[in-house]
Amino acid sequence: MLNKKVIDEIEKGQLKGEVPAFNVGDTVKVFSEIREGEKKRMQGFEGLVIKKQGGSNRSTFTVRRIVQGVGVERTFPLHSPKLGKINVIREGRVRRAKLYYLRDRIGAAANRVPEK
Amino acid sequence: MRQGLIGRKIGMTQVYDQNGCVVPVTVLEVGPCVVTQLKEEKKDGYCAIQLGFGERKKMGKTFAGHFKGISPYPKYLKEFRLDKVEGISRGQVIRADIFSAGEVVVISGTSIGKGTAGTIKRWNFSRGDMGHGSKSHRLPGSIGGGTTPGRVFKGQKMAGRMGNEKVTQKNILVVDVDVKKNVILVKGAVPGSEKGIISIFKTGKKVSNFKPIVSANAKEEKAVGQNDVQEKDKEKVEAKG
């Protein structure tokens, strides 16, 4: 009988074969495809991973960085065909799954996560 | 005059299309449907086919006669009006391949029953003030005049049973069709609960800028294609040798 297994299979078919390993607290550079008119190019976004959420093909992660004193967060769908490679620049040691406390920090403390 | 099929709602999920956009989809089990009866202009005054879907465990003698020669006995029956029934025969099986990705369809189902619902939920009335001395929190308000007309008009919107009625949704986009599994994906929501029986109709309309979804099948096809190329190369080498 058809049931939720069908949905699981559809979601599995959407998954990327290999997903780069990174954790919350890591500093990463994420490349995603953007289109300027006809041209396509990969744009990088570097920052701290403050959350990973969702399962299966719904999973996303959020990268936070400070641009000219203003916090900028971008959420990427992990299995999106537009998402390129993810370079882990620095591994951080954190004690929680969601680093929302960094949003309240100002100045140098805003990105302070000890290295692993 | 619409060709269609009977199906069942499985549930919802999301998929990526080739633009990288996330598309919310409803997964439907559609068909296979067996033609249980043909209605003809001469005999019945109109043209239609009666389709059967699902599997019936128990059956009375009337249905046994109606389904004679058809196996397994279908559980759900529905009639689809057509312009002509020529070329269709009783016992013929119709599958989900009559639909294709990028097509626009109409889907009917029975909406989820809400039970007795007030006017705010049922008819989108406004709420009264929750404070400031008001006691008219979720009341319907006035339902008509006084001495004139001296009665409440028929059809006045009031509280009562909501849902569990036939709902037809137009302009639904077919995102993907898997004939092997008898499964199709449509964009957005579909009336009714999961496991609910729906009927899905063709409209003949197509979306011009449709982007197919990223799927495992497509990846496999690609891989197979690459192998073909390699085999061809081998053949070339052998031919040269």
- Indicate whether A62 pLDDT > 50: yes
Report whether pLDDT(A9) > 90: no
pLDDT of residue B238: 55
Specify the long-range contacts of residues B120-123, CB closer than 8 Å, at least 24 apart: B121/B162, B122/B157, B122/B159, B122/B160, B122/B162, B123/B157
Helix B216-240 vs helix A4-14: angle between axes, to the nearest 10 degrees? 50
Average pLDDT, chain A: 86
Among partner residues B16, B29, B181, which is closest to A14 by beta-carbon distance? Answer: B16
| More confident site: B109 or A14 | B109
Between positions 9 and 28 of A, the ones with CB within 8 A of B are 10-14
Q: Cβ B214–A58 below 8 Å, yes or no?
A: no
Q: What CA–CA distance (Å, rounded) separates B218 from B126?
A: 50
Sign of CA dihedral A38, A44, A45, A48: positive
Radius of gyration of chain B (CA): 26
Contacts of A82 in chain B (CB under 8 A): 19-20
Q: What is the pLDDT of residue B155?
A: 93
Q: What is the pLDDT of residue A113?
A: 78
Residues of chain B positioned with their CB less than 8 A from the CB of A77? 16, 22
Predicted ipTM of the assembly:
0.80
Q: What's the whole-number mean pLDDT along residues A96-115? A: 84
pLDDT at B213: 82
Rounded distance between C-alpha atoms, residue A63 and residue A67, angstroms: 13
Q: What is the DSSP letter of A92?
A: B
- The average pLDDT across A4-16 equals 84
Residue, of A38 and B128, whose pLDDT is higher = B128
pLDDT on residue B233 = 52
Q: Tell me how far apart the alpha carbons of residues B151 and A30 are, in angstroms, rounded to a whole number.
A: 69
Name the pLDDT band for A40 (thresholds 50, 70, 90): confident
DSSP class per residue in B180-192: TTTEEEEES--SS
CB atoms inside a 10 Å sphere around CB B226: 10
Which ranges of chain A would DSSP assign to H, the alpha helix? Answer: 4-14
Kindly list the residues from chain A whose CB atom is less than 8 angstroms away from the CB atom of residue B8.
Answer: 2
Q: Is the pLDDT of residue A2 over 60?
A: no
- pLDDT tier at A49 (50, 70, 90 boundaries)? very high
Q: Average of pLDDT values for A75-102?
A: 90
User: What structural domains and CATH numbers belong to chain A?
Assistant: 2-111 (2.30.30.790)
User: With a CB-CB cutoff of 8 Å, which residues 54-83 of chain A face chain B?
Assistant: 57-58, 77, 79-83
User: Residue range A38-55: average pLDDT?
Assistant: 90
Alpha helices in A4-116 (DSSP H): 4-14
The Cα of B172 is separated from the nearest Cα of chain A by a number of Å equal to 19
pLDDT digit of tens for each residue in chain B (241 aa)? 578 899 999 999 999 888 888 999 999 999 789 998 888 888 888 889 999 998 888 888 888 888 888 878 889 999 999 888 888 888 888 888 889 888 999 999 999 999 999 999 999 999 999 999 999 999 999 999 999 999 999 999 999 999 999 999 999 999 989 888 889 999 999 999 999 999 999 998 888 888 888 765 555 544 444 444 444 455 555 555 4
Give the three-class secondary structure for B65.
helix
What global pTM score does this model have? 0.80
Give the torsion through C-alpha atoms of B71, B75, B80, B82, to 10 deg.
0
